Chain A
Amino acid sequence: MNSAVQLYATTLLVYLAVNLIASWALDIQFGVTGVLNFGFILFQSAGAYTAALLSLGPARASGGFQQYIGGWQLPFPLPIVGAILVGAALGWLVGWVGLRRLRGDFQAVVLLVVSVVATLVVESVPGFLNGDAGLSLIPKPLSGVAGLTGVTYAWAYVGLCFLSCGLVAILVARLVHSPYGRVLRAVRENDALADAMGRSSTRARLQVFVLGGALAALSGALLVEFTTAWAPSGWLYPETFVYFTIVIIGGRASLPGVAVGAALIAVGIQQAVQLLPIGADATVLASLQWVVIGLLTLAFLWWRPQGLIPERVRRFGAPSPSTPLAAEKLSEGAGS
């Protein structure tokens, strides 16, 4: 392969790994626990900005090229660790306020509003995170170290991403299949019952907000250290629904399903648009891509609400016809 093709391949692979992590993070919240976090993209973005601020160094050093608060130049794993911590803290904060006694659907919209407000603040306060233009020239971690350059470096970064992705997969899989995972699914199926059994549904929701926030931030940090730039236009509120579509198409609470969804949507559709005949208006194409994503979600909710690879529900004791599935909850569920 020549180096251009290799760079293209590595970019795709990094995107795939990042989207896998983010999709699983959302799946814990939405698929497993049944929390509609319509502000999900904010957590990925918080991770990206944190990692950027922790590796850019002080703003003065850029000679006024970009303005932002803080700015440190920390060695490699620390920006990513910092991003994870900020994501978790933000998850706790937003969850603590947003998951108050509102009906689930109104909760979701309040979280959507949180996401819109965050964009508004970052865009309107230029000294905060360099406003509209966003941060750029973010140094790549470990570049030059061990003689890694160009394509070799890109492949090494792919390795780092998939290593993180593997660790996240193990973590999420163990979590979902643990007794704690059963608590989360109980909250999804019937939160009043979970409360009655002594498992606080509010606490469980807050916990998945923290965990999901941390993982989303990790995905953002890995992405920004590769693309070296991050701006508000990349995390407008509709971006959240790419991940919702991934989880719905793949299969809620199904880890392999969500992986398939991530590959199909985040990589497949994005690339398919690139291959469309040149000459079509780029902005129209971008709009049509969103229309396709919306239509796909509706189509799956109508024809295959359980997704491509449905969740495998373990049944204990005699199989009972009334055992509810996540998918049935969405299509035929009780009205809570």
Chain B
Amino acid sequence: MTELVSALGFGLVTAAILSVSAVGFTLQYSVSNVLNLAFVSIMTASGFVAYGLIVAGLNLWLAIALASLVGGCLSALINWGIYTPFIRRGTSTFGMVIVTISTALIGQNLIEAAVGPGFFSFGVATGRAVDVGGLVLTGDQVITMGIALVLMAATYVGLEYTRLGRAMRALSVNPALARACGVDTGRVVALAWFASGVLAGAGGALLFLDTATFSVTTGSYFLIVIIAAAVFGGVGSARGAFLGALILGVATEVAGAYWIPELKDVVAFAVLVAVLLVRPRGLFSEIATLRQAVG
């Protein structure tokens, strides 16, 4: 029983990190219609920024905030410098995947050239342990869940109740109509890239904080669960991605506690395959229609 409780606790922490990342990935995908494989590179870069800042003695909160900002800027920069020019040329969604994977490859290896292929660690978890009814969490884990909760609430409010959020949702459903209604698509898409980058940055920093030893390739394994969560909830639906992240985060940790821990991500993959076989549009599918990329 205690094993299950502690697995649930770890599951909630994983779900928190995963929800930030999966929602960021899905938000940008649904607004810009570009499947950005460099998302993981942005997570990795921001994670290392946070690591560097914390090792240099900076406050944990400030380090995570700065890392998120770096993620947002990187994301906006990649979109402005690489993706938008290709989309303006009329590159199809099919071609854009190759553009984004090339960008991911370049980014990933520039980071590796900078930090090396070795493993890094934050050392012993800081802060007091917190005991909630048998559920023992470290201070870092509580912080992680708190940050994720705040970010998810902010994303929800932003998407549902602000003008910009409404424009983003309009753009994700029908870009031509949104443009005809006077939505400044270029600006909204750029902001969506920035917001998605902030979530990627926070996700990367939290992922590294939560992982005992991490390296440049940690993010690429996390891609398994991000994609599984995104497909699980229905491609392009931020709410679906959030629910998918919650379920998969807990499911992978619980399965990992009872099975080979290294293979917990494979559980997410098994769920992904099952969803593809049973309900290829995802459990909470909204869109995933075929449409042009917007630039």
Contacts and interface: CB of A to CB of B under 8 A. Distances in A.
A298 B103 contact: yes
Main secondary structure of the interface of B (DSSP, over half): helix
B227 interface: yes
Contacts of A103: 93, 235, 288, 290
Q: Which of A38, A123, A298 has the most CB of B within 10 A?
A: A298
B101 A241 contact: yes
A117 B293 contact: no
Interface in B159-197: none
Given A105-B35, A117-B266, A283-B116, A298 B276 contact: no
Given A116-B224, A291-B106, A294-B105, A105 B93 contact: yes
A34 interface: yes
B60 interface: no
Given A100-B276, A241-B101, A335 B106 contact: no
Interface string B100-113: 01110110111011
Contacts of B277: 97, 100
Interface in A269-286: 283-284
B269 A113 contact: yes
Nearest to B217: A236
Contact of A120 (B95, B102, B221): B221
Given A121-B266, A284-B113, A116 B101 contact: no
A104 interface: yes
A186 interface: no
Contact of B102 (A110, A116, A237, A298): A298
Contacts of B158: none
A336 B94 CA distance: 7
Nearest to A244: B98
Contact of A117 (B108, B224, B260): B224
B292 interface: yes
A142 interface: no
Contacts of B290: 103, 335-336
Contacts of B76: none
Contact of A294 (B85, B106, B281, B292): B106
B145 interface: no
Contacts of A237: 220
A113 B224 CA distance: 6
B128 interface: no
A293 B106 CA distance: 8
A76 interface: no
Contacts of A297: 98, 102
Given A97-B277, A106-B235, A121-B263, A295 B91 contact: no
Interface stretch (A20-28, A166-174, A256-264, A324-332): A324-332
Nearest to B94: A104
A207 to B, nearest CB: 20
B146 interface: no
A36 B99 CA distance: 13
B109 A333 contact: no
B113 A241 contact: no
Contacts of A248: 98
Contacts of A120: 221, 224, 262-263, 265-266
B276 A301 contact: no
A289 B89 CA distance: 28
Interface string B281-292: 100000010111
Interface in A96-147: 97-98, 100-106, 108-110, 112-114, 116-117, 120-121, 123-125
Interface in B46-103: 82, 85-86, 89-99, 101-103
Contact of A116 (B112, B223, B288): B223
A172 B54 CA distance: 55
B221 A335 contact: no
B90 A332 contact: yes
Interface of B: 35, 37, 82, 85-86, 89-99, 101-103, 105-106, 108-110, 112-113, 116-117, 220-221, 223-224, 227-228, 231, 235, 260, 262-263, 265-266, 269, 272-273, 276-277, 280-281, 288, 290-293
The 3 closest A-B pairs by CB, nearest first: A124-B262, A294-B106, A333-B92
Interface of A: 34, 36, 38, 97-98, 100-106, 108-110, 112-114, 116-117, 120-121, 123-125, 237-238, 241, 244, 248, 283-284, 287-288, 290-291, 293-295, 297-298, 301-302, 305, 329-336
